[in-house]
């Protein structure tokens, strides 16, 4: 995925212009940037090939071919600053400072209960533990954790190769504790779940060893 710094000045200006409007034509861009239609179309086609812009056929105002409208593709949104992680950390710190650790723990517990209800809605508690772990891995992957379920002898291992809440977890270790409890409650009392690798402890990933009691 490219970043703004990787783009030429002209392509960056086109991206920023499209961000400010629903869609524009190549001719409108050419007029605004004082470039030829051909030059603008070359930039747009290069951005399209990178998945950053899309084209749609406009509505003809009269005779002739309707103009092509250009707009940003969803992938282009990643080019713009995203401070979700910073905001989350700031909110955690603000809750702790204003309301105290007990209030922060209440928030974390509420989040875990909501997750648990959602997970139980997708995982049949009567399923075999291997099936439940695979489904849990699928759910976590959809949430951005790049999870997989593997076998290791008589045990199962749930590995999460990415942590989309790493910054928040670093500011509040209670989130990691809550996730371990979440897995235990989701998979049921007939299994043991232990974390054997922890990203925040210096490991490359988080993993959980799951075995039947």
More confident residue, 48 or 61: 48
Please check whether residues 14 and 73 belong to one and the same domain.
Answer: yes
More confident residue, 37 or 80: 37
Q: How far is CA 82 from CA 55, 77, 78, 87, 166, in A?
A: 25, 9, 8, 10, 15
- In sequence order, what are the residues at sequence separation of 6 or more whose Cβ sits closer than 8 angstroms to the Cβ of residue 111? 178
Radius of gyration of the chain (CA): 24
Residue 101 clears pLDDT 90, i.e. is over it? yes
User: What does the pLDDT average to over 194-201?
Assistant: 95
- Which tens digits make up the pLDDT trace of 135-189? 999 999 999 999 999 999 899 999 999 999 999 999 999 999 999 999 999 999 9
- Per-residue pLDDT at 77: 84
Of 32, 63, 79, the domain-final residue: 79
Please check whether residues 157 and 75 belong to one and the same domain.
Answer: no
CA 148-110-144 angle, 5° bins: 25
DSSP-based three-state secondary structure for 108: helix
Domain of residue 166 covers 84-212
Of 79, 104, 136, the domain-final residue: 79
Q: pTM score, two decimals?
A: 0.71
Q: How many CB atoms lie within 10 A of CB 196?
A: 12
Q: Say if CB 171 and CB 179 are below 8 A apart.
A: no
């Amino acid at each position: 995925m490219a970043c703004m710094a990787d783009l030429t000045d002209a392509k960056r200006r086109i991206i920023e212009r499209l961000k400010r409007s629903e869609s524009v034509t190549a001719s409108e861009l050419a007029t605004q940037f004082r470039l030829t239609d051909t030059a603008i179309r070359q930039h747009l086609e290069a951005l399209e090939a990178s998945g950053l812009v899309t084209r749609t056929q406009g509505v003809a105002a009269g005779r002739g071919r309707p103009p092509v409208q250009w707009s940003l593709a969803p992938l282009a949104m990643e080019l713009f600053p995203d401070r979700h992680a910073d905001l989350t950390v700031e909110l955690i710190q603000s809750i702790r400072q204003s309301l105290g650790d007990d209030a922060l723990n209440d928030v974390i517990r509420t989040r875990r209960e909501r997750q648990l209800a959602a997970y139980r809605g997708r995982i049949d508690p009567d399923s075999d533990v291997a099936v439940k772990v695979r489904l849990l891995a699928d759910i976590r992957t959809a949430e951005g954790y790049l999870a997989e379920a593997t076998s290791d002898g008589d045990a199962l291992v749930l590995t999460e190769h990415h942590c989309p809440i790493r910054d928040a977890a670093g500011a509040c270790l209670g989130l990691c504790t809550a996730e371990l409890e979440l897995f235990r409650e989701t998979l049921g009392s007939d299994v043991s779940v232990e974390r054997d690798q922890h990203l925040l402890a210096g490991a490359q990933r988080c993993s959980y060893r799951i075995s039947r009691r």
